[in-house]
Structure 1
Amino acid sequence: MTQGPGNITVTPDDRIIVSLHQFYKTDDRVVEVSRDGRLTPFPNPEWAQGRNPDGTGLDSVLGIQADANGVVWMLDNGMRDQVTPQLVGWNTRTNQPEQIIPLPLPITAKNSFLNDLAVDLTHQAVYIADTTLGGAPALIVVDLKTGKARRVLSGQASVLPEKIDLIIDGKPVQSVQSDGTILRPNIGVNPIALDAKNEWLYYGPMHGTRLFRLRTSDLLNPDLQPDQLAQQVEDYAEKPICDGISIDQANNIYITDLGSDAIGVIRPNRSYQKLISAPWIAWPDAFSFGPDGYIYGVINQLHRTPALNGGVDDVKPPFLIIRFKPLAPGVIGR
């Protein structure tokens, strides 16, 4: 790819849809990628190139996931033009918006960073990872039937980052602050994925060495008090610092192992191992199962961008879309 990807999804009819990372300030926010590498604004130029005065359009999208009905769910975090975040579902079969759900305060916070999502058609819900820069990270539960949302686990241990550095190619990931100081960021909840039966939501902080899980039945229960919900969180397994994750039907959890230039897996016995490792796996960001039996992923070199490289631009295009055979089949689009 000639432009920097964010996340990826593959629709049931084998269309590859990719969000473009806001670090790269591209004109299009989301594109469809043809098999010959051509990029087409998705769903169309009017929607793909910024938020419009009437509220249509996409401002900045990372999280993206296609469901079994061909609806592509796009998580617009609103951070480019400081507009209200929203969840947008686009029906690729009718080529029309399926649903638009605004996510204003206090569902989001002033420093929210809506990063990734998991779509649950069994319960007509979407679960969102709100990394929340400099504040209290949280999960957001969206009811697709009513359009209402709840903020849960805000500041709870399972969504908070650990004080650990991300080292890639021997260099720490670091950013320059407005006053010129150098900061090594610690990012909260980011990886998020459902199991194939939509019974468990797996998630964890990006800068964290543990993966957690929670039953969707508990997440969807509005009667549970915050401390009661927190008590249902299970510390599931050890993990590396990672970005996106995905799960197959045998409960293998695929991990973007950022510090090792690798793709790894947490097996059902909860042990972690690397599957693929190579120098060109330079910040693997996200996965999606396709209808052809492969897992697709993106490589976007975020650690070489000025935002995470101390103000220095070391990015070397092209950016990559990869695919590999999973250990077991998965749910298309995830």
Structure 2
Amino acid sequence: MRVWIKSGAAVAAFLGAVCAALYLRYGGGEPYPDLSTPPVLPEEALQVAAVFPEPFGNVAASADGRLFFTVHPESRPAGPRLYEWKDGEAVAYPNENISAEGFVTPLGLSVDQQGRLWVIDHGNHGLAGARLVAFDLASGQIVHDKRLGDTGEAGSFLNDLTVSPDGRYVYIADVSFFRQNPALVVYEVASGKAWRVLEGHPSVTAQDWIIENPVKRMTFFGGLVALKPGVDGIVIDEAGEYVYYAAMTHDGLYRVPAALLNAPETDAEALARAVERVGSKPLSDGLSIDRQGNVYITDVEHGGIARLSPQGRLETLIASDKVRWADGISYSGDGYFYFTDSAIPDQMLQSKAHIESHAPYYLYRFKADIAGIPGR
């Protein structure tokens, strides 16, 4: 009996130590203040652009109005993972075989000005190797395919990406939820070289906020773990001068000169000094930008899109109770902003039965009164 008691006490002590370690590393946090304003656009301006039986991941729209999306990897899709929305239906892109078998966990998408669709596959948080793929939109052929090696290290989460206007550089956000080593990854297309920058810098690192989504307060395992991702959204301005980025659970949007990112020899301290805070933001996911430097930010707590001016003025552009989790956002040549509702609370750590029971899932669009065509 004494042996059993001692064994039970040892197990309890071990479990207590594990729980304490989890909480110290991943738990805690406070509610974030509500920064939303009365929406500029009425809810009626929000339109359903696509409907799908599985949760959407990210979206990318081309200048000629083509629309691409990923199925969110957290929902553990078994079939195709990359689609084009054509004539009112989802078509596996570029074909059924590549879409279903050619990827592990694709998520981030971006269409560049050279007519290529770029896809980042985080490789099951780096455990299967992160991969960057580009398709020529005219032919559907793969024109670039790169394994990212150490820049997509085990525990990384290469999540979102943006491409320089000249198509020479790809900038990727590493959320690094598990490893907690967030950074930006810069990839030079011609050389195939990639490097990590701003590792652990305050601008890419999650702050101690808890996301309180209307569907779910984003804590798990009895509060031991809170969803507090690092740098997520990323976009470059049309001139290719600045890369803008934001950590999901962070109160600020930042930018850094692209020219410094493009030079791997840039001193880390010099790069850190060049980081600028643009302004305050909601807890966010994806980013887009227009020619005037207004940044469009998906608001994961309030089901909509915020807009931050170059002068730091934040306003809610559009919002709806129908949106469960505003995720990726992209501007199309047809004049619409498109954004995915990835419904993270209804898929993260949920059973397939739960995910299926909360279908369908939606991709939305709206038109905003803006001057000039936004960048990518």
Is 1:318 aligned to 2:360, yes or no?
yes
Count of aligned residue pairs for this structure pair: 321
Change (3 A) 1:267 1:32: same
Distance in 1 separating the partners of 2:90 and 2:302:
29
* Larger relative helix fraction: 2
Superposed displacement of residue 46, structure 1:
1.8
One-letter amino acid matched to 2:63: P
Is 1:7 aligned to 2:58, yes or no?
yes
Distance in 2 separating the partners of 1:81 and 1:59:
10
Superposed displacement of residue 193, structure 1:
0.7
1:75-102 deviation line (CA, Å, top 9, x unaligned): 0111189421111001121221111111
Q: Which residue of 2 aligns with 1:329?
A: 372
Q: Which residue of 1 aligns with 2:110?
A: 65
My pick for the range that moved more, 147-156 or 321-330, is 321-330
Q: Which residue of 2 aligns with 1:198?
A: 240
Q: Which residue of 2 aligns with 1:53?
A: none
Query: Pairwise mapping of residues 35-54 of structure 1 onto structure 2 (< 5 A)?
Result: 35-36=87-88, 38-50=89-101
One-letter amino acid matched to 1:23: E
Q: Which residue of 1 aligns with 2:276?
A: 234
1:249-308 deviation line (CA, Å, top 9, x unaligned): 111111111111221100222111111121012101111111111111111211222428
Q: Helix, strand or coil for the counterpart of 2:203? A: helix
Is 1:16 aligned to 2:67, yes or no?
yes
Answer yes or no: is the 8 Å Cα contact 1:89–1:99 preserved in 2: yes
One-letter amino acid matched to 2:268: P
- Runs of 4+ aligned residues of structure 1 deviating over 6 Å after TM superposition are none
Answer yes or no: is the 8 Å Cα contact 1:111–1:133 preserved in 2: yes
Superposed displacement of residue 233, structure 1:
0.5
Q: Helix, strand or coil for the counterpart of 1:245? A: strand
Answer yes or no: is the 8 Å Cα contact 2:126–2:157 preserved in 1: no
Is 1:76 aligned to 2:121, yes or no?
yes
One-letter amino acid matched to 2:334: D
Answer yes or no: is the 8 Å Cα contact 1:4–1:24 preserved in 2: yes
Normalised by the length of structure 1, the TM-score is 0.90
Distance in 1 separating the partners of 2:323 and 2:163:
27
Q: Which residue of 2 aligns with 1:224?
A: 266
Q: Which residue of 2 aligns with 1:253?
A: 295
Answer yes or no: is the 8 Å Cα contact 1:305–1:315 preserved in 2: no
Structure 2 residue runs of 5 or longer lacking an equivalent are 1-51
Answer yes or no: is the 8 Å Cα contact 2:125–2:158 preserved in 1: no
| Aligned pair partner of 1:183 in 225, 250, 258 | 225
Distance in 2 separating the partners of 1:268 and 1:190:
20
Is 1:262 aligned to 2:313, yes or no?
no
One-letter amino acid matched to 2:163: V
Answer yes or no: is the 8 Å Cα contact 2:126–2:156 preserved in 1: no
Answer yes or no: is the 8 Å Cα contact 1:113–1:132 preserved in 2: yes
Q: Helix, strand or coil for the counterpart of 1:279? A: coil
Distance in 2 separating the partners of 1:252 and 1:308:
36
Distance in 2 separating the partners of 1:201 and 1:304:
32
Answer yes or no: is the 8 Å Cα contact 2:54–2:355 preserved in 1: no
One-letter amino acid matched to 1:249: R
Higher relative contact order (CA 8 A, sep 6+): 2
Answer yes or no: is the 8 Å Cα contact 1:175–1:306 preserved in 2: no
Percent identity, aligned pairs only, is 29
> Over the residues paired in the alignment, what is the CA RMSD in angstroms?
2.1
Q: Which residue of 2 aligns with 1:132?
A: 176
One-letter amino acid matched to 1:14: G
Superposed displacement of residue 20, structure 1:
0.8
Change (3 A) 1:6 1:65: same
| Aligned pair partner of 1:141 in 186, 202, 207 | 186
Is 1:156 aligned to 2:201, yes or no?
yes
Distance in 2 separating the partners of 1:331 and 1:9:
13
Q: Helix, strand or coil for the counterpart of 1:229? A: helix
Superposed displacement of residue 18, structure 1:
0.4
| Aligned pair partner of 1:300 in 342, 355, 362 | 342
